Amino acid sequence: MQLIDGKKISLQLQEEISAEVKKIIASGGKQPHLAAVLVGNDGGSETYVAAKIKACENVGFKSTLIRHDSNVTEAELLATVNKLNADKDIDGYIVQLPLPKHITEQKIIEAVDTAKDVDGFHPINVGRMVLNLPTYISATPNGIVELIKRYKIETIGKHCVVIGRSNIVGSPMSILMAKNNVFANCTVTICHSKTKDIASFTKQADIIICALGKPEFLTADMVKQGAVVIDVGTTRVASAETKSGFKLKGDVKFEEVAPKCSYITPVPGGVGPMTIASLLMNTLLAAKKEIYR
Amino acid sequence: MQLIDGKKISLQLQEEISAEVKKIIASGGKQPHLAAVLVGNDGGSETYVAAKIKACENVGFKSTLIRHDSNVTEAELLATVNKLNADKDIDGYIVQLPLPKHITEQKIIEAVDTAKDVDGFHPINVGRMVLNLPTYISATPNGIVELIKRYKIETIGKHCVVIGRSNIVGSPMSILMAKNNVFANCTVTICHSKTKDIASFTKQADIIICALGKPEFLTADMVKQGAVVIDVGTTRVASAETKSGFKLKGDVKFEEVAPKCSYITPVPGGVGPMTIASLLMNTLLAAKKEIYR
């Protein structure tokens, strides 16, 4: 069994990005610039955005944080989005989700210039992914694909079972793993809340991607010997062991599943750390104008 | 075994559309208007476009056919597209594919006003389908979903195996069948040219959607008793029996598979006739501004 070390790969990616930024600047190019829009003071959002800004510093990106009160109007937020769209120095930006209930998230997402949509949430970028056109793939799926690449996990002709059909993870992963390229080409089965007997599918799987958000859902009896298991779950559960009073739990019962696996991602330290590296990769693509000219 | 009669359902849909058009006009509304752009003189394209124009007449739509020589430049074709985008009387239009090689199809597809993209080929409309937003679903997948609805085929919790991953059929069908709604909610497996032992998957399937384009690929030994089989294949094979000198062959070995099925679509007369009804449905949605305002 080999542990897939997302933390290590994420740092490695950041070093590679950092080296590329140095080259760009040395040859007279512009410093890549990521902006983040943060609405309100949600604790989780604060933490995520702070980590993104810090990662920008680490790799030599310029970063800008724009804050709005939680009572910002939709019109005001759209004005910010339009300003960011027009700002030529900014290569890409994110609007941290979730937004307050009085704002229609989808309206904000669709107002983002598709060339600066480094979160890959705009429908046009989702469509371009489906149609095999150059695009920004959103953070978690992009991170999982990168782990598969870096660990040279065999995928061609393998049976990949994805559990969960969310817009953010399950659905795009099922699409990406079936694509005709060397890091995919899997036969893909997508399971969800209406699937009868999920175990009957996971038992057949060479690769299992768990993204349903139920702690310790996947147990050893559901997994074939030698399978690759990617755990996307990150549910906070109360814990007396930690200072924060909670612990992150994956969708996989790690202790009993791991011994049967050829590869497995831990939680934390697996898929999680990859999301920030993904965002940085997309921002670099934006700065280099590799997706849109 | 019940035969799924696409011809009958297509006519039924056209009658329903026709009745709605009469109502719209009776209440002082505008007659729905579909335009078609035809480049060159390809026999297949001529036939398809003629059938679409005729169907418009049948249901009371206004239709406009715009022809270009096969040596039309990309700029000229883009000018036509822009003219159609600006024409307020035209609710929706299609650019018949394939286009001559000197024209970049994707550029034309992306120039179509997304609100008039009744073929559903624009990346934004593909993305909106993935994200469960109102959209135009392209003709073949839309037609298959309609057949499933009209025949009240049970789908919830069923295992649907899709063979083929084309942008036009296999990929969107795999996405649509997994959606969280009463005409879908299947566990979906997508098989393709890199799948090892396709039969091992089809044998488990409650619903099989064959869209790989290999005549008589699916044989009786690959199908479970009581399965639903949807045959999207339409390969022209030489035949001495017909005046035209060819016959349409599906992907399913119909004679031997049909007796095992609960439902099956014939070729011709199954999925094929539904594509035009789909286009008309999308045009009506466009005229009623139900997708975009």
Whole-number average pLDDT of chain A: 97
How far is the C-alpha of A219 from the C-alpha of A57, rounded, in Å?
Answer: 40
CA dist list (Å): B51 to B34, B48, B65, B273: 13, 5, 12, 10
| 8 A C-beta contact, residue A145 and residue A172 | no
Q: In this model, does residue A293 exceed pLDDT 90?
A: no
Give the fold, CATH level 3, of B28-113. Answer: Rossmann fold (3.40.50)
A126/B122 CB distance under 8 A: no
SS3 call for B217: coil
pLDDT confidence tier of residue B144, bands split at 50, 70 and 90? very high
Contact criterion met (CB < 8 Å) for A125 and B127: yes
Name the 3-class secondary structure at B271.
coil
E strand map for chain A: 2-3, 33-39, 62-68, 92-95, 159-163, 187-191, 207-210, 228-231, 235-238, 246-249, 263-264
The span from the CA of B42 to the CA of B50, in Å, is: 12
Bridge partners (DSSP) of residue B159 are B187
Quick one: closest CA in B to A163, which residue?
B187
Residue B293: pLDDT over 90: no
Comparing CA positions, the residue from B81, B142, B71 lying closest to residue B109 is B81
What is the CATH architecture of B139-272? 3-Layer(aba) Sandwich (3.40)
Interface of B with A (CB under 8 A): 106, 122-133, 156-157, 165, 167, 171-172, 174-175, 178-180, 185-196, 201
Closest partner CB to A127 (pick from B127, B178, B191): B127
CB atoms within 10 A of CB A35: 25
Closest by alpha carbon to A143, among A242, A9, A29? Answer: A9
Delimit the domains of chain B by residue range. 28-113, 139-272
Known catalytic membership, residue A52: yes
Residues B257, B264 contacting (CB under 8 angstroms)? yes
At the top level of CATH, the class of A139-273 is alpha beta
**Cα(A130)–Cα(A128) distance, integer angstroms:** 5
Same fold, B28-113 and B139-272: yes
Dist CA A241 CA A260 (whole Å):
27
The per-residue pLDDT for A53 is 97
Q: Tens digits of per-residue pLDDT, A40-66?
A: 999 989 999 999 999 999 999 999 999
- Residue B156: how many CB atoms within 10 A of its CB? 13
pTM exceeding the 0.90 threshold for the entire prediction: yes
> E strand or H helix at B160, and its extent?
strand B159-163
Query: Going by C-beta distance under 8 Å and a sequence separation of 6 or more, which residues neighbour residue A2?
Result: A151, A262, A263, A264
Helix, strand or coil, per DSSP, at residue B191: strand
The complex's ipTM?
A: 0.96
